[in-house]
Amino acid sequence: MAGSSLEVPEKLALINENLAEILNPELIERVLAEGRNPRIYWGTATTGRPHCGYFVPALKIAQFLAAGCEVVVLLADIHGFLDNLKAPLELVEKRAEFYRYTIASILKAVGVPTELNNLKFILGSSYQKSPEYIMDVYKLSSLVSEHDAKKAGAEIVKQSESAPLSGLLYPILQVLDEQHLDVDAHFGGLDQRKLFTAAKEWLPKIGYKERAHLMNPMVPGLHGGKMSASDPDSKIDLLDPPDLVTKKIRKAVAAPQIVEENGLLAFIEFVLLPASALSGRREFRVERERDGLEPLVYVNIGQMHNDYRNDILTPQLLKPAVAAGLNKLLAPIQEAYQASTEWQEIALKAYPPPPSQKKEKKVKNKGSKYPGSKDTSAPENANQV
């Protein structure tokens, strides 16, 4: 992935592809005009198990690297703890290790060699406990109101009626990460827009520069809405076996001729098509052997949308094609997991199975075992009870 051989317009095209919005795009353009490659960071709180939705940012990271950018992957362990204790403190370290293995494996699956010099994994707690960082937390805390902190984290931090104070610190830490990771741009989902606009406003208050913000759209889950680790029906686990993947996709919501909120079409647009492009041949094939017809071959999502609206591409054809494409992406991840006893041990420590609860046996009253005997278990005045 030698981005140095690309011209500036080609680099910009790769950086901007499939993004929903960019705040301060001129900052990226300025860095490229200076002959420097942008340094971009993407962070993930190490809470629930990563799922197939993680392919969406992974593909963008792969494109950033192909454009020559330096990419920092922040394993935000302290953030996971601050967000309403989603990651209990005793599990934070193990979950961060699990995420490192998993995200590296996802990147490899889409063609990114993780030993690249311009790709770095950084643990949040490795610098977020330093005196300089803590002092900046104090500074921002004195300038940001409770209302603004809640607003910035509204789409990211779990909201509740009596939320812990840590939820207000979460957005402050994420804003400061831009400065302390020394980046030119911050990449994340469109659900982080309020936090990104807060960063533009807050950082200059303590003498730090604004950054560009790159946002990918929120890809619908299998049943519409956001793909969530806490909703097993809306997502596919990276370690789900092929038959289970096929079963889940078969049950996915995909109304005929409707492309809006169609999680399968969105997954092709933001994962399967870009992944095929990175491997050298941009296309998505839909087999029609059963009908005795030639396969449908798509090189862009516009073609697919047109065929889907016109019922040329039906849900019955689409679902097995997506299942085949996804299982192909998942295969190297699952092989790597099976080959690594260390990764398997970390998985058990990071997400220990819930303790089994023994069911108490109910003692059945079998009576005295001979006819006409008095049942001593019944109340004397049973007709009054």
Q: 61 with 43: CB under 8 angstroms?
A: no
How long is the chain?
A: 385
Both tokens of 270, joined, read 């933001």
Q: Among candidates 80, 66, 75, which has minimal Cα distance to 37? A: 66
217: Cβ contacts below 8 Å, ≥ 6 apart: 18, 19, 20, 189, 190, 266, 270
**Residue 203 backbone phi and psi in degrees, to 5:** -60, -45
Query: Of 81, 166, 163, 186, which Cα lies nearest the Cα of 125?
Result: 81
pLDDT at residue 354, rounded to an integer: 83
Cβ neighbours of residue 116 closer than 8 Å, sequence gap 6 or more: 1, 65
Question: What residues have CB less than 8 Å from 364, skipping those under 6 apart?
Answer: none
CA separation (Å) from 270 to 165, 256, 336?
Answer: 36, 20, 24
Own/partner long-range contacts of 254-259 (Cβ < 8 Å, ≥24 apart): 254/315, 254/318, 254/319, 255/315, 256/311, 256/314, 256/315, 257/308, 257/309, 257/310, 257/311, 259/305, 259/308, 259/309
One digit per residue, the tens of pLDDT, for the chain of length 385 reads 456 689 999 999 999 999 999 999 999 999 999 999 999 999 999 988 999 999 999 999 999 999 999 999 999 999 988 886 667 878 888 999 999 999 999 999 988 887 888 999 999 999 999 999 999 999 999 999 999 999 999 888 877 777 788 889 999 999 999 999 999 999 999 999 999 999 999 999 999 999 999 999 988 888 766 665 556 666 899 999 999 999 999 999 999 999 998 999 999 999 999 999 988 899 999 999 988 999 999 999 999 999 999 999 999 999 999 999 999 999 999 999 999 999 999 999 999 988 776 666 666 665 555 555 555 444 444 343 3
DSSP 225-283: SB--TT-TTT--BTT--HHHHHHHHHTS---TT--TT-HHHHHIIIIIHHHHHHTT---
What are the start and end residues of each CATH 1.10.240.10 domain in the chain?
242-350
What's the CATH class of domain 3-216? Answer: alpha beta
**Quick check: 244 and 235 in contact, CB under 8 A?**
no
pLDDT value for 380:
43
- Identity of the residue numbered 18: N
What residues form DSSP beta bridges with 74? 43, 122
Q: Are 13 and 198 in contact (CB under 8 A)?
A: no
Look up the pTM and report it: 0.86
CATH number, domain 242-350, options 1.10.4160.10, 1.10.240.10, 3.90.1300.10, 2.30.40.10 = 1.10.240.10
Residue intervals in the chain for CATH 3.40.50.620? 3-216
